[in-house]
Amino acid sequence: MTAVRVALVAAGLWLGWHGIGLLFDLSRPDLVSVLLWFAAAILVHDGIFAPLCALTGATARYYLPRTWWGPIACGAVCTVAVLLITAPVLRRGGAVADNPTVLDRDYPLGLTVALALIWILVLAVGTAGHLRSRRSHGTTATRSTP
């Protein structure tokens, strides 16, 4: 194991221990709430989200060319991450009328721009990979003929 891996494992263990220590400071109702949310998140992930991802990935691999698998998978992961991050602020439920600094941006526009950039990059990388693959197959095909 390299020194970087050892340092990362040590940092991860320390952060995990610190998080568990913070849980002991919570009141009993708060701790029960945390445990229920944790259990619900695991059930939703394992029962709904993971099977949907597996089904989508298997279906996409059947229909998409091999050179597009990586970029589209990366774009899908980034899309889900951005959607999860922006979900709490999209409906502006925490906005305060007398404090304009709370939720002071146009979050739906920001989400749209972020998703557009993600999928523009997916198209650029996928197209470049597809063209590179076609060029390399064309090159090897012409070299193999006498």
**Per-residue pLDDT reduced to its tens digit, 50-93:** 999 899 888 988 898 888 989 999 999 999 999 989 888 887 66
- The residue count of the chain comes to 146
Report pLDDT for 91.
Answer: 76
pTM, rounded to two decimals:
0.65
Average pLDDT for the chain: 87
**Per-residue pLDDT reduced to its tens digit, 110-138:** 999 999 999 999 999 999 998 888 888 77
Q: Which residues contact 92 (CB under 8 A, 6 or more apart)?
A: 103, 107
SS3 readout for 100-134: CCCCCCCHHHHHHHHHHHHHHHHHHHHHHHHHHHH
